[in-house]
Amino acid sequence: GQQVMQIPQYQHVQEGEDFTTYCNSSTTLSNIQWYKQRPGGHPVFLIQLVKSGEVKKQKRLTFQFGEAKKNSSLHITATQTTDVGTYFCAGNSGAGSYQLTFGKGTKLSVIP
């Protein structure tokens, strides 16, 4: 079945440093989504990427979808304490599947 790998599992950064998490799928994806989950909270949708090579920005967050539509990354510039949480990528293989397969997540800690 479809597998989505995500690294690193944990990342500790000093406030103001940059942060990147990477996502790799075992199969070509129809689209990839990114979610953020705060401690004790529920996953909250950040963005969806659909096109090969797509790059989207949301303020300090930059999302990329690989040319082969099998990998993706999320980069945060100049982290803030409000960025703390676990970032999940989630892929959909399409072909009539409703299943969104989540990566293991990257837990971000920001040291003030």
Partner 1 sequence: AAGVIQSPRHLIKEKRETATLKCYPIPRHDTVYWYQQGPGQDPQFLISFYEKMQSDKGSIPDRFSAQQFSDYHSELNMSSLELGDSALYFCASSQLNTGELFFGEGSRLTVL
Binding site for partner 1 (CB under 8 A): 31, 33, 35, 41-45, 48, 88, 92, 97-105
Of residues 66 and 103, the one with the C-beta less far from partner 1: 103
Of residues 3 and 80, the one with the C-beta less far from partner 1: 3
Let me know: does 12 contact 109? Beta carbons within 8 Å.
Answer: yes
Of residues 58 and 97, the one with the C-beta less far from partner 1: 97
Q: How far is the CB of 41 from partner 1 (least distance, A)?
A: 8
Q: How far is the CB of 20 from partner 1 (least distance, A)?
A: 19
